């Protein structure tokens, strides 16, 4: 094979491999037949001093498909476990490999990971590969999430492989390069707690705390403070998802990042017509991860984390349980306050409290009964979107709007302040399912124009501007029958 010269690249480190070997295995990606760059994120590349690579198609394709690596790189796959739909399973990076860690311009450390790059020790029966659709979907959705200013892993590149991947129907394969604060999950702690020694659990804790929450190490009870750190980030994350109508779809503990980023864009989707029970994932038949269940599931997952931290919280198990339980009940209050505040901000009322809840409940009940579009409803309220649907003329809607206006007056909220708050809180754009699907059909033909348009618009999702009607339009029949899939 002729040699290839790589453009200059920043230092690629691997602090993670300071952990005991039970946490990872050195593995190289499996080269692919004919790598071709489909998506490349120039803005993100710039943050990591990889901008020079933009002009080097061949090097890009080779490196970001994992086919040809610079000398000295020692990539690795991470071990973890997880509760999948409530059942504990030993897992690990079955189709992903961490190339290493790179610091951004501000000196923050991020993992760079290939996804879809071939089998590893943790692949079980899987082929280690991913389809163009699935990786393009993750690219589009994660970049939209970043645009919404919600914590998320990012996507640097999608490179197609020129090799078929066998799924329900055969599709071309692709490798995504994911950029994450780290890939340490609730499931990583469960893995250590359930299968390794106390020393190994302790090592994972120290490493993770130093990397993500060094301040907890100065506290009286570092493990308990760490639990609080993760809890708060997770609660904020899920509240943000609910604010924009996002349904993650597969909130297993292995898909919950300790750093509080949205991770693993498998069957996720933004809903159009509101329903508290909305589910898109084809395998979530009981609606475990439905829209309104996400809060309860986050709490359930955090209880799994608390459980795995028990031996570090206190040597005496009884004491540890008492302390962890008290922390979990603080979470309940904390969540409730943040959640109500977010709901209030959606209708332009700051500092909403529990006694104002009936006002919101009647709006949400109306949306549930009429299946009103979640994004558009708040734009109609703000007066920036003129709806075609007759539901926005019905008596219940008009009554509610009147009550809402009176409520704002009673509270002395000025119109411009309410509008300002709503503009910050409610997006005018989310990547609607039919738009994402059309971008994926396009991407499957090696074309990115539809996706590029979506991605560009997704960079300013709070913008109020006329002329964006095409994206506010809801498809006929809504997306009640829309289905998404895991692990494709
Ligand atoms: P996910 O549902 O994508 O979070 O994946 C759950 C687990 O299955 C993870 O440990 C993945 O690494 C693994 N996995 C998913 N798809 C594949 C595949 N095609 N080959 C090997 N492992 C996979
Ligand atoms: Mg996963």
Nearest ligand 1 atom, CA 255: 4
Pocket test for ligand 1, best of 84, 126, 268, 488 (most atoms within 8 A of CB): 126
What pLDDT is attached to residue 217? 98
- Which are the contacts of 329, defined by CB distance < 8 A and separation ≥ 6? none
Clarify whether 254 is annotated catalytic. Answer: yes
What is residue 477's predicted lDDT score, i.e. its pLDDT?
65
Question: Which ligand lies nearest the alpha carbon of 250?
Answer: 1
Q: Dihedrals φ, ψ of 179, to 5°?
A: -120, 120
Residue 94 CB neighbour total at 10 angstroms: 17
Tell me which of 52, 93, 236, 254 is the catalytic residue.
254
**Pocket of ligand 1, beta carbon within 6 A:** 91-95, 123, 126-129, 250, 254-255, 264, 266, 486-487
Q: Which helix (H) or strand (E) holds 212?
A: helix 198-212
pLDDT value of position 467: 56
Pocket residue to mutate for ligand 1, from 131, 256, 485, 487, most atoms within 8 A of Cβ: 487
In the prediction, which pLDDT does 302 show?
Answer: 97
pLDDT at 2: 67
Alpha helices per DSSP H over 271-393: 294-313, 317-346, 357-370, 374-382
Q: Ligand 2 center to residue 85 CA distance, Å?
A: 12
Question: What does the alpha-carbon distance between residue 181 and residue 174 come to, in Å, rounded to a whole number?
Answer: 23
- Predicted local confidence at residue 164, as pLDDT: 97
pLDDT at 469: 61
User: What does the pLDDT read at residue 472?
Assistant: 74
State which residues have CB under 5 angstroms from ligand 2, the bound ion.
Answer: 255, 264
> Taking Cα atoms as reference points, which of 264, 209, 257, 260 lies closest to residue 234?
260
Q: Mean pLDDT for each consecutive 10-residue tract of the chain (488 residues)?
A: 83 97 98 98 96 92 96 96 96 98 97 98 97 98 98 98 94 98 98 98 98 98 98 97 98 98 96 94 91 96 98 98 96 92 97 91 97 95 91 97 97 97 96 95 96 95 75 72 82
E strand map for 132-270: 154-165, 171-180, 246-247, 269-270
Render pLDDT for 177-200 as a digit per residue (tens, 0 to 9).
Answer: 999 999 999 999 999 999 999 999
């Amino acid at each position: 094979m002729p040699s290839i010269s790589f453009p200059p690249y920043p230092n690629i480190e691997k602090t993670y491999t300071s952990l005991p070997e039970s946490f990872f295995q050195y593995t190289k990606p499996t080269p692919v037949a004919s790598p071709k760059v489909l998506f490349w994120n120039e803005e993100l590349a710039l943050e990591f001093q990889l901008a020079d690579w933009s002009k080097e198609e061949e090097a890009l394709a080779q490196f970001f498909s994992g086919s040809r690596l610079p000398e000295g790189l020692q990539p690795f796959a991470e071990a973890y476990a997880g509760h999948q739909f409530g059942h504990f399973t030993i897992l690990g990076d079955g189709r992903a490999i961490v190339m290493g860690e790179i610091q951004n311009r501000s000196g923050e450390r991020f993992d760079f990971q290939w996804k879809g790059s071939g089998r590893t020790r943790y692949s079980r029966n899987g082929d280690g590969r991913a389809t163009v659709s699935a990786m393009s979907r993750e690219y589009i959705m994660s970049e939209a999430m970043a645009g919404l200013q919600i914590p998320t892993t990012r996507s640097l590149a999608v490179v197609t492989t020129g090799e078929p991947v066998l799924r329900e129907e055969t599709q071309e394969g692709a490798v995504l390069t994911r950029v994450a604060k780290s890939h340490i999950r609730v499931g990583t702690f469960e893995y250590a707690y359930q299968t390794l020694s106390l020393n190994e659990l302790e090592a994972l804790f120290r490493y993770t705390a130093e990397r993500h929450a060094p301040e907890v190490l100065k506290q009286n009870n570092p493990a308990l403070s760490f639990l609080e750190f993760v809890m708060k980030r997770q609660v904020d994350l899920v509240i943000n998802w609910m604010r924009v109508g996002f349904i993650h779809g597969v909130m297993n503990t292995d898909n919950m990042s300790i750093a509080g980023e949205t991770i693993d864009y498998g069957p996720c989707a933004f809903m159009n017509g509101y329903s508290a029970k909305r589910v898109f994932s084809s395998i979530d038949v009981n609606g475990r991860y439905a829209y309104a269940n996400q809060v309860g599931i986050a709490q359930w997952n955090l209880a799994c984390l608390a459980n795995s931290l028990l031996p570090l919280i206190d040597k005496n198990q009884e004491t540890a349980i008492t302390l962890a339980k008290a922390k979990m009940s603080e979470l309940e209050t904390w969540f409730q306050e943040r959640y109500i505040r977010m709901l209030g901000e959606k209708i332009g009322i700051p500092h909403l409290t529990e006694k104002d809840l009936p006002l919101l409940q009647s709006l949400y009940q109306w949306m549930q009964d009429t299946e009103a579009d979640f994004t558009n409803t708040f734009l109609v309220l703000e007066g920036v979107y003129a709806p075609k649907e007759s539901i926005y003329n019905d008596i219940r809607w008009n009554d509610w709007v009147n009550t809402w206006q009176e409520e704002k007056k009673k509270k002395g909220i000025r119109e411009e302040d309410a509008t300002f708050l709503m503009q910050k809180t409610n997006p005018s754009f989310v990547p609607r399912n039919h738009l994402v699907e059309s971008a994926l059909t396009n991407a499957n033909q090696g074309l990115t124009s539809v996706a590029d348009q979506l991605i560009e618009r997704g960079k300013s999702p709070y913008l109020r501007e006329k002329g964006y009607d095409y994206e506010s339009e809801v498809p006929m029949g809504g997306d009640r029958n829309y289905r998404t899939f895991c692990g494709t």
